[in-house]
C-alpha cells in the first residue's frame, strides 16, 4: 500500500513518545542518595560528635553541590564537604539530619539519633564556718543522676595543698565517700571540691569554701610553790650529780636552793667541812655555784643559790584567741624572753674538804659529812578555758 504524504511512520511515533517520558518514569533519575553516620551516638553534655555524609551519592552526570546539616538542637550549618563536627551543650535525645543537594537542586535526606547524657546534680550540705580543732561534716549523699544511675564521689579537701604531688592542687582524690568528716587544726579559709560522676562518666564538680575560725580562751596564771629535796653522805673528794625539769608546763619566777651540812659533834676538835653546790642549765645558759660557810659555829654550815624575777609576771586574767588550748599553752610558755629556766637543771654536790680532823688512835673519825639540798621554786602555770562566743 502506498503511504499518504501526511502520514507518519508508526515506529517514529513510538520513538518520539518514549523520549518525552524520560524523567517521569524514574528510569534515568538523578535524585541523590543520602547516607549519614556518626562516630558517637551516646555522649555527655559538652562533648563533640563527628558526622560523616561522604558515602552519599548522586547519579552521573550530576554532582553533590552542598550538605545542609540540622543537629536537632536548633543549630544548623551548610558545608561543601561531607563531614562536620558539632558540640551538644544540653542533655537530651537529638535527631541530627543531613540534606544532600546536587547541582540540579534535587535532594535526599538521612538522619541519626544522638543521646546526650546529663551530668549528676550535686546537693552539698555543710556549714559556712567551724572552729579550729572541731569536726565538720560535708555531705553530698543527696546528689542524684537525672537518668537514675548510681553515682560516685571524689573529694579534694584543700585546694591549697597538692596531696598527690602531680603539680595540680585541685584534682586530689582524698575520699570517695558520699560524705566526709574533717578536722582543721589551724584557722583560716579553706577551699575544696566534690565531684560526682555517673555511670557514663559524666561529671559535675562543686567548689566549696569553709571558714575555720579561732577559738576564744580565758587565761589565768596560777602561782605554785614547789619544793624539791635531796640528801646523802659524801666523803672528801666525792661528788654527786642530780637533775630535774622544774619548768615543764610552767614559767619559773623564782628559785632558792640551800645546801646544809650536818653539824660536827665537836667543832673545836673537828673543823667545819666545806662543800660546794653548783648549778647548770644548758638550755638557758645559766651556770652558778656556792660554797658552805661556817662563820657561826652554832649553826650548821650552808650554801645558797637564789634568783628572783627570772621571768616576768603576766597579767593574771585575760582573754585571747587561738586555734587550740594546747597550742595556746605552748605559745604562752615559749614567748620570747620568757623562757629563762626552761630545760633540765643539773646540780652537783661536791665534798671539797672533810679532812684532816684530829685523829683518834691514828684514825680520822670524821671522813665525810651528811648533806641536804632543798630547792624551792615559785612558778606560774597557765590555766586556759574556752569561752563560748
Q: What is the pLDDT of residues 73-102, one digit of tens each?
A: 999 999 999 999 999 999 999 999 999 999
pLDDT category at 13 given cuts 50, 70, 90 is very low
Q: What helix, strand, coil percent values describe the chain, rounded to 5?
A: 5, 50, 45
Closest CA to 210 of 193, 189, 237: 189
Q: 324-334 pLDDT, tens per residue?
A: 999 999 999 99
- What is the reported pTM? 0.64
User: Residue 324 has which C-alpha cell?
Assistant: 587550740
Closest CA to 139 of 103, 179, 106: 179
- Average pLDDT (161-179) is 94
Residue 79 and residue 65 in contact, taking contact as beta carbons nearer than 8 Å: no
Rounded distance between C-alpha atoms, residue 246 and residue 318, angstroms? 25
Residue 165 φ/ψ region, left for φ over 0, alpha for ψ in the -120 to 50 degree band, beta for the rest: left
- Across the range 169-182, mean pLDDT stands at 95
Q: What integer is the mean pLDDT of 262-286?
A: 79
Yes or no: say if 221 and 279 are a contact pair by the CB < 8 Å rule: no
Strand ranges across the sheet with 92-102:
42-44, 107-117, 92-102, 64-70, 76-79
Residue 263: predicted pLDDT: 72
How far CA 67 is from CA of 51, 53, 132, 174, in Å, comes to 11, 8, 64, 50
Q: Is the pLDDT of residue 297 over 80?
A: no
For range 159-172, the mean pLDDT: 92
Return the higher-pLDDT residue of 208 and 24.
208
| pLDDT tens per residue across span 138-154 | 999 999 999 999 999 99
pLDDT band at 26 (very low <50, low <70, confident <90, very high): very low
Cα–Cα distance between 34 and 80 in angstroms, integer? 14
- Domains, in order of start, for the chain: 31-117 (2.60.40.10), 129-213 (2.60.40.10), 218-387 (2.60.120.380)
C-alpha span between 115 and 126 (Å, rounded): 34
Per-residue pLDDT, 25: 34
Amino acid at each position: 500500500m502506498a503511504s499518504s504524504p501526511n502520514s507518519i511512520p508508526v515506529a517514529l511515533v513510538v520513538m518520539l513518545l518514549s523520549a518525552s517520558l524520560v524523567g517521569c518514569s524514574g528510569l534515568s533519575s538523578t535524585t541523590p542518595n543520602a547516607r549519614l553516620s556518626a562516630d558517637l551516638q551516646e555522649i555527655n553534655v559538652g562533648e563533640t560528635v563527628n558526622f560523616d555524609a561522604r558515602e552519599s551519592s548522586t547519579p552521573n552526570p550530576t554532582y553533590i553541590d552542598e550538605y545542609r546539616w540540622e543537629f536537632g538542637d536548633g543549630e544548623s550549618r551548610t558545608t561543601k564537604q561531607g563531614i562536620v563536627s558539632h558540640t551538644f551543650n544540653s542533655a537530651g535525645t537529638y535527631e541530627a539530619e543531613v540534606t544532600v543537594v546536587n547541582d540540579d537542586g534535587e535532594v535526599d535526606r538521612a538522619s541519626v539519633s544522638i543521646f546526650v547524657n546529663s551530668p549528676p546534680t550535686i546537693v552539698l550540705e555543710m556549714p559556712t564556718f567551724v572552729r579550729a580543732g572541731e569536726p565538720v561534716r560535708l555531705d553530698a549523699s543527696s546528689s542524684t543522676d537525672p537518668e537514675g544511675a548510681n553515682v560516685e564521689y571524689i573529694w579534694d579537701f584543700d585546694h591549697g595543698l597538692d596531696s598527690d604531688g602531680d603539680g595540680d592542687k585541685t584534682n586530689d582524690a582524698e575520699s570517695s565517700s558520699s560524705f566526709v568528716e574533717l578536722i582543721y587544726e589551724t584557722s583560716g579559709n579553706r577551699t575544696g571540691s566534690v565531684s560526682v560522676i555517673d555511670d557514663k562518666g559524666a561529671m559535675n564538680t562543686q567548689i566549696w569554701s569553709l571558714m575555720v575560725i579561732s577559738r576564744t580562751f580565758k587565761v589565768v596564771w596560777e602561782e605554785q610553790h614547789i619544793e624539791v629535796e635531796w640528801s646523802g653522805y659524801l666523803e672528801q673528794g666525792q661528788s654527786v650529780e642530780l637533775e630535774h625539769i622544774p619548768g615543764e608546763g610552767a614559767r619559773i619566777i623564782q628559785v632558792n636552793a640551800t645546801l646544809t651540812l650536818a653539824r660536827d659533834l665537836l667543832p673545836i676538835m673537828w673543823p667545819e667541812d666545806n662543800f660546794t653546790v653548783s648549778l647548770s642549765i644548758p638550755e638557758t645558759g645559766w651556770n652558778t655555784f656556792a660554797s658552805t660557810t661556817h662563820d657561826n659555829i652554832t649553826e650548821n654550815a650552808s650554801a645558797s643559790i637564789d634568783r628572783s624575777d627570772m621571768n616576768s609576771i603576766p597579767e593574771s586574767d585575760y582573754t585571747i584567741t587561738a586555734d587550740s588550748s594546747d597550742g595556746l599553752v605552748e605559745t604562752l610558755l615559749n614567748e620570747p624572753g620568757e623562757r629563762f629556766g626552761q630545760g633540765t637543771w643539773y646540780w652537783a654536790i661536791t665534798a671539797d674538804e672533810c679532812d684532816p680532823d684530829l685523829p683518834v688512835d691514828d684514825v680520822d673519825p670524821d671522813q665525810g659529812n651528811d648533806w641536804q639540798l632543798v630547792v624551792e621554786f615559785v612558778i606560774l602555770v597557765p590555766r586556759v578555758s574556752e569561752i563560748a562566743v
